[in-house]
Amino acid sequence: MSITPLMPVYPRCGFRPVRGEGAWLISEDGSRALDFAAGIAVNLLGHGHPHLTKAIQDQAATLIHVSNLYGSPQGEAFAQRLVDTTFADTVFFTNSGAEAVECAIKTARAYHQSQGSDRFEIITFKNAFHGRTMATISASNQEKMHKGFMPLLEGFKYVDFDDLEGAKAALGPKTAAFLVEPIQGEGGVRPASDAFMQGLRALADEHGIMLILDEVQCGVARSGTLYAYEQYGITPDIMATAKGLGGGFPVGACLATEEAARGMVVGTHGSTYGGNPFAMAACQAVWDVVANDEFLENVRATGDKVRTSLEQFIGNYPDLFTGVRGKGLMLGVMMTHETRAFVAHLRDNHGLLLVAAGDNTFRVLPPLNITDTEIQIFMEKLSAGAASYQVPQAA
Ligand SMILES: Cc1ncc(COP(=O)(O)O)c(C=O)c1O
């Protein structure tokens, strides 16, 4: 067996980007690809955005990191901005989405246990993706993520996604919380119904348990509102956010109401890097751009344009595509068969980057500031790709 310098856990492809320009990535061999994957919903301002780049450069020259043992004017300032623009009263900063979900799980358990209750169980939903730590793989029913890592952490119950009756039936004396992605990302860009999200909120209120949202993928303007929960007319008790939050800088956050965070007192949680000045500068720069009505309105309008174009296009290929779903610029195209080979074909032969997902769906996750010209190039590449695609025999 030969080992590689990078632990070989990813099925890496031959495209090896070394530079980015807006919605384009340039490979080490000089080839250019249109990036409608955006680092899997991360680079929401594209590559090399001047405001984000300058904020990171300036902060690097000022102060990159200090310990969380010291006061954090930078962390307080950005946490206040999150509090001002969301449901939350308080924030814990992390370095990734999985850590934000971990913090959300701990916050929910601590809420109950700090009051002497032994509720600890979290009800989650099938085909969810919450990350790759032990708690977050345990929170998903996907066996492919469990294999080789048993035993799982106890205390998770899986119910069908968008099945309110199932969620109700799963409630018990030990239930501490529901944990749900309002729009399943990896599971196939599946938006929950209004009735489901509103029903979970009502059940959580009725039973005194927490509603935790995982908006790691669908949050930060991606769905057309700052957070997707706004479109359901509800607010969570606790929410995990990451990916777009730093526009490419690795940062996440767990947001909570004052009530939900009552167990998260001194000494209960921590992170060496979480919320350091470098990360906060990136977040502030992203928020400067995205947290306003004009930007969000434009995401919705651009999302509608891309969706309409996709819906017209798939009608020409009924043997390949069955529909389009999603919200804002988090769109999924459903295929008649597994999507990995088609995504690879578009990448290798047409210079178009997309992301495969579950449920025979591929994800369209462009930067949120794409232009009409880029949408047109995207549709041209997609059309050329569909016209030249041979469905693999086994698919
Ligand atoms: C909904 C959701 N939750 C959590 C995560 C985990 O985030 P990270 O990879 O930053 O740990 C992801 C990553 O794809 C995600 O899509």
Helix, coil or strand: residue 96: coil
Peptide bond into 151 cis (omega under 30): yes
| Phi then psi dihedrals of residue 238, to 5 deg | -145, 145
Does 271 appear as a known binding residue? yes
Q: Is 215 annotated as a binding residue?
A: yes
The answer on pLDDT for 262 being more than 70 is yes
How much is the mean pLDDT over the chain? 97
Q: How sure is the predictor about 2, in pLDDT bands with cuts at 50, 70 and 90?
A: confident
The answer to whether 159 is a known ligand-binding residue is no
Rounded to an integer, the average pLDDT of 95-122 is 98
Mean pLDDT calculated for residue range 283-287: 98
Residues of the chain with CATH 3.90.1150.10: 17-49+293-388
Say which CATH architecture domain 17-49+293-388 belongs to.
Answer: Alpha-Beta Complex (3.90)
CATH of domain 63-290: 3.40.640.10
Residues with CB under 6 A from ligand 1: 40, 96-98, 101, 129-131, 181, 185-186, 214, 216-217, 242
15 alpha carbon to ligand 1 midpoint, in Å?
22
- What token pair was written down for 379? 């549709």
Atom of ligand 1 nearest to the CA of 215: 1
From 140, 216, 238, 245, mutation site for ligand 1 pocket: most ligand atoms within 8 A of C-beta: 216
Query: What is the Cβ-side half-sphere exposure of residue 269, based on CA atoms within 13 angstroms?
Result: 22
Within the chain, all domains assigned CATH 3.40.640.10 are found at 63-290
Question: Known binder of ligand: residue 272?
Answer: yes
Within the chain, strands assigned E span 17-21, 24-27, 32-35, 90-94, 121-125, 156-159, 175-180, 183-184, 190-191, 210-214, 238-241, 252-256, 321-327, 330-335, 352-353, 355-357, 361-364
> Which pLDDT band holds residue 393 (cuts at 50, 70, 90)?
confident
Rounded to whole angstroms, the Cα distance separating 185 from 216 reads 9
**Ligand 1 centroid – CA 130 distance (Å):** 5
Residue 370: its pLDDT value, please? 98
Nearest atom (ligand 1) to Cα of 136 = 4
pLDDT of residue 271: 98
Q: According to the model, what pLDDT value does residue 242 have?
A: 98
**Structure confidence by residue, pLDDT tens digits, 323-371:** 999 999 999 999 999 999 999 999 999 999 999 999 999 999 999 999 9
Per-residue pLDDT, averaged over 79-97, amounts to 98
pLDDT of 1 above 80: no
With cut-offs at 50, 70 and 90, classify the pLDDT of residue 395.
Answer: low
For 317-334, give the secondary structure using H, E and C: CCCCEEEEEEECCEEEEE
Residue 310 scores a pLDDT above 80: yes
Q: What is the pLDDT of residues 195-204, one digit of tens each?
A: 999 999 999 9
DSSP letter string over 207-262?
HT-EEEEE-TTTTTTTTSSSSGGGGGT---SEEEE-GGGGBTB--EEEEE-TTGGG
User: Ligand 1 centre and the CA of 318: distance in Å?
Assistant: 32
CA of 29 to the centre of ligand 1 (A): 30
Q: What is the pLDDT of residues 137-194, one digit of tens each?
A: 999 999 999 999 999 999 999 999 999 999 999 999 999 999 999 999 999 999 999 9
Nearest-CA residue for ligand 1 atom 3 is: 130
Mean pLDDT for the stretch of residues 266-292: 98
Residue 132 in marked binding region: yes
